[in-house]
């Protein structure tokens, strides 16, 4: 208990609270503007936080993350364009409510239920992560290899439209992670005589490039001035937003479904790579089946909006549980946070719960505070936030370009990192145009070292005998899950075919 | 399927083969008898996987009979985007080059000014944006965090 009180004292320091609020404000703007994702925001701001004390730096990043996910719902409601992928389901009912003159109420529901979902996710994080960490403390290289492999295949299973391209992207990421000094024998690999590559291809400049420059180039490429003009015109004609706060009666009516889907989404978030977009779409679809008024869903149902917004923020607690206890990213943002923790000299995983327990508690408390902070700011600025949508896209493009250069350089004061960032930006653009999701590539790059290091350490332990992965129960179960996930589309196809034949 | 799948599959296959060749040079098997595979072991497995998947994508694209989506297609309205697209890339390369000659703040100011003009923003907006934005970066990164943008 004393550790929690110390943690609370740490996070309530004026400096930490200030950075949290700065992060929330930044996240609010990033989330509102379509095209600026939470991942991009956290990736660009991460280099900045290295110059702060760890708790302050993390306060800012956690503020950005939580606020950007909730704020994505604002543009989903007001212009039918989700600010972040997590808010896709919010546009189903949110935009219809806005067209009915209930935009203010939709914005209020978005704030309140995002915070509610976020807090439920945090509670799960607080109550379960220590137990999970206690269980995983006995994990060795075999389990970590199996875990990293499982995380990777889960990512590929949800990687864009093409599984083959997702696999290619992910394996290419792992392949690039082999550049640099060999983790066991310290032999130079594929460095081509460049001293900057001895440490390997750094993950953060690649991330900044792919999600920053790559996204800007992609947006410029597909930009349609006529659509932009139509959206501006639409905003001008729908200025009335109405009341913001829902009534007690309305909130009471939503509470059973929102509570159920808050817990459900937290579990979804804990599954590596199953992100907020998936959780909110599944929750919205399932809630419609269970609702007393399913016919209203998609046509302006406040309940539908509440369920989808609960889901997008509840996921974060689950993703953080996986990240902190296993060192496996639950989504793209938690992948950046892993990189960030490593820069502070901490290694996410069960050992962090003993070696840096105080900091783990700080992160948990910051998550709760971030939800409360964005709820307060979100409600105060609900109507004002609509104005942020008027920012010209060209201003955003120019700003992101400069911030990407500054952020990539600030990581290590290295121009080489800027070059890597720029190259990754071009690759990110080509990936996007050719239908390759950048997510698996980033994940592969991040998990590659963990995969290889643990695979080879396990083989050392077993004197080269690969059966070690199947004789240890946890790694065996994880590998079975991995194979099932990998072949799930095939198995599903076979099962459906059998059902169809049986039914004939 | 996309029209570019054959080319992108080929690029992945080539990258995979490059790593396979490199992996053999590094040594795949254990240099000792303790079961540690060589430095080329992991790149070999992954290079082979990427090459295999790349070839699979090529075959899938060649055998696909339906309509393929063009990856870089633009309609008449979007064709006007080619200018800002290429000038953004050129401006970034220009920023990197100028950064080597003058200090970063001056290079970033020039970049911000040029890119805003290229995006057809007014002179007044471009100058104000460049001064304010670069000013904020200078205050935050140089004055507050003591980052020297010197090469």
Distance from CA of A86 to the nearest CA of B (A): 25
The three-class DSSP label of residue A180 is strand
A501 pLDDT more than 80: no
Which of A184, A225, A394 lies nearest to residue B36, judging by beta carbons?
A184
Question: How confident is the model at residue A431, as a pLDDT?
Answer: 92
Closest Cα of chain B to A460: distance in Å? 5
List all residues 6 or more positions away from A118 whose beta carbon is below 8 Å from its beta carbon: A66, A70, A313, A314, A316, A317, A367, A370, A371
In chain A, residues with a C-beta closer than 8 Å to the C-beta of B41 are 456
Res. A275 pLDDT band, cuts 50 70 90: low
Given this model, what pLDDT does residue A155 score? Answer: 60
Give bridge partners of residue B69 from the DSSP assignment: B2
Contact status of A263 with chain B (Cβ, < 8 Å): no
| Min distance A198 CA to chain B CA atoms (Å) | 14
For tokens 């032999």, what's the residue? A187
Query: What span, in angstroms and rounded, lies between the C-alpha atoms of A139 and A150?
Result: 15
B37 vs A406: CB contact, 8 Å cut-off?
A: no
Residue whose entry in the numeric block shows the structure tokens 């929330």: A24
* Angle between helix B123-137 and helix A393-412 axes, rounded to 10 deg: 30
How many CB pairs below 8 A link A and B? Answer: 164
Dist. CA B8–CA A36, nearest whole Å: 27
| pLDDT for the residue A237 | 65
Q: What are the Cα distances from residue A362, in Å, to A147, A244, B84?
A: 26, 32, 45
Following CA atoms A125, A130, A133, A135 in sequence, which dihedral angle do they give, to the nearest 10 degrees? -120
Q: What is the pLDDT of residue A159?
A: 59
* Residue A52, token pair as written in the block: 């702060």
List chain A residues with CB under 8 Å of B115. 397-398, 401
Three-state DSSP at A45 gives helix
| Distances in whole angstroms, Cα of residue A348 to Cα of each of A314, A447, A458, B6 | 21, 13, 20, 40
Contact A312, A86 (CB under 8 A): yes
| Contact between chains at A397 and B88 (C-beta distance less than 8 A) | yes
Which chain A positions have a beta carbon within 8 Å of B69's beta carbon? Answer: 435
What ipTM is given for this predicted complex? 0.94
pLDDT digits (tens, 9 = 90+) for A234-253: 666 665 667 878 888 888 88
Tell me: pLDDT of B148 over 90. no
- Nearest-CB residue to B36 (from A167, A413, A456): A456
Q: Which two tokens mark A50?
A: 């290295």
Give the minimum alpha-carbon distance from B98 to chain A in angstroms, rounded to a whole number.
13
How many CB atoms are closer than 10 A to CB B96? 16
Task: Please judge whether A399 and B133 are an interchain contact, meaning their C-beta atoms are less than 8 angstroms apart.
Answer: yes
pLDDT tens for each residue of B27-50: 887 666 666 788 899 999 999 999
Residues A397 and A216 sit within 8 Å (Cβ to Cβ): yes
Is residue A310 within 8 Å of residue A283, measured between CB atoms?
A: yes
d(CA A406, CA A208): 10
**Tokens 């060999």, located at residue:** A182
Strand A180-181 and strand A188-189: the pairing is antiparallel
Q: Is A35 left (phi over 0), alpha (psi -120 to 50) or beta?
A: left
pLDDT of A499 strictly over 70: no
Question: Is A121:A450 a contact under the CB 8 Å cutoff?
Answer: no
Beta strands in chain B (DSSP E): none
| pLDDT band (50, 70, 90) for residue B11 | very high
For B86-139, write each residue's pLDDT tens digit.
999 999 999 999 999 998 999 999 999 999 999 989 999 999 999 999 998 888
Q: Give the model confidence (pLDDT) of A427-436 as tens digits.
A: 999 998 998 8
- pTM, two decimals, is 0.80
3-state secondary structure of A101: coil
């Amino acid at each position: 208990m004393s550790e929690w009180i110390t943690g609370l004292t740490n996070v309530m320091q004026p400096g930490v609270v200030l950075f949290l609020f700065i992060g929330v404000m930044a996240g609010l703007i990033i989330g509102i503007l379509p095209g600026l994702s939470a991942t991009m925001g956290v990736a660009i701001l991460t280099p900045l936080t290295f110059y702060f004390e760890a708790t302050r730096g993390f306060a800012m990043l956690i503020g950005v993350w939580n606020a950007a996910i909730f704020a994505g719902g604002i543009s989903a409601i007001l212009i039918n364009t989700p600010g972040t992928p997590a808010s896709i389901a919010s546009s189903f009912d949110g935009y219809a409510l806005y067209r009915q003159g209930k935009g203010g109420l939709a914005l209020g529901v978005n704030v309140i239920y995002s915070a509610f979902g976020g807090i439920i996710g945090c509670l799960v994080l607080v109550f379960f992560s220590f137990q999970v960490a206690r269980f995983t403390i006995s994990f060795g290289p075999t389990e970590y290899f199996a875990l990293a492999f499982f995380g990777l295949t889960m990512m590929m299973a949800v990687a864009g439209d093409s599984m083959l391209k997702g696999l290619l992207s992910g394996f290419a990421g792992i392949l690039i992670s082999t550049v640099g000094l060999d983790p066991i024998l310290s032999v130079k690999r594929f460095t081509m005589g460049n001293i900057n590559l001895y440490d390997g291809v750094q993950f953060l400049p690649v991330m900044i490039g792919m999600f920053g420059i790559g996204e800007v180039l992609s947006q410029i490429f597909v930009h349609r001035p006529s659509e932009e003009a139509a959206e501006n015109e639409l905003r001008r004609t729908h200025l009335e937003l109405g009341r913001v706060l829902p009534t007690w009666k309305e909130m009471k009516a939503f509470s059973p479904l929102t509570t159920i889907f808050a817990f459900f989404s937290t579990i979804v978030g804990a599954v590596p790579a199953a992100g907020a977009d998936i959780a909110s779409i599944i929750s919205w679809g399932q809630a419609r089946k269970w609702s007393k008024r399913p016919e209203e869903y998609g046509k302006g149902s406040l309940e539908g909006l509440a369920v989808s917004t609960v889901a997008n923020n509840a996921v974060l607690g689950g993703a953080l549980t996986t990240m902190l206890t296993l060192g496996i990213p639950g989504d793209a943002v938690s992948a950046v946070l892993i990189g960030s923790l490593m820069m502070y000299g901490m290694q996410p995983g069960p050992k962090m719960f003993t070696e840096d327990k105080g900091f783990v508690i700080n992160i948990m408390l910051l998550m709760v505070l971030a939800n409360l902070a964005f709820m307060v700011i979100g409600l105060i600025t609900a109507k004002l936030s609509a104005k942020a949508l008027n920012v010209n896209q060209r201003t955003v493009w120019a700003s992101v370009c400069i911030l990407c250069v500054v952020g990539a350089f600030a990581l290590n004061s290295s121009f080489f990192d800027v070059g890597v960032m720029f190259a990754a930006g071009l690759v990110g653009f080509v990936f996007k145009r050719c239908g390759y999701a950048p997510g698996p590539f980033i994940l592969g790059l991040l998990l590659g070292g963990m995969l290889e290091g643990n695979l080879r350490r396990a083989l050392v332990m077993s004197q080269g005998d690969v059966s070690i992965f199947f004789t240890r129960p946890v790694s065996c179960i994880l590998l079975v899950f991995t194979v099932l996930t990998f072949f799930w589309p095939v198995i599903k196809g076979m099962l459906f075919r059998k059902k169809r034949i049986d039914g004939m | 399927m996309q029209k570019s799948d054959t080319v992108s599959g080929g690029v992945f296959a080539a990258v995979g083969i490059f790593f396979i060749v490199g992996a053999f040079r590094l040594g795949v098997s254990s240099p000792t008898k303790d079961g540690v595979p060589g430095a080329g072991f992991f790149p070999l497995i992954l290079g082979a996987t990427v090459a295999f998947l790349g070839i699979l994508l090529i075959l899938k694209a060649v055998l696909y009979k339906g309509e393929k989506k063009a990856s870089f297609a633009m309609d008449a309205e979007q064709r006007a985007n080619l200018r800002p697209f290429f000038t953004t890339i050129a401006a970034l390369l220009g920023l990197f080059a100028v950064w080597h000659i003058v200090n970063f703040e001056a290079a970033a100011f020039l970049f911000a000014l040029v890119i805003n003009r290229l995006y057809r923003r007014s002179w007044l907006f471009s100058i104000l944006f460049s001064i304010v934005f670069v000013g904020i970066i200078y205050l935050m990164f140089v004055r507050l965090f003591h980052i020297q943008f010197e090469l």
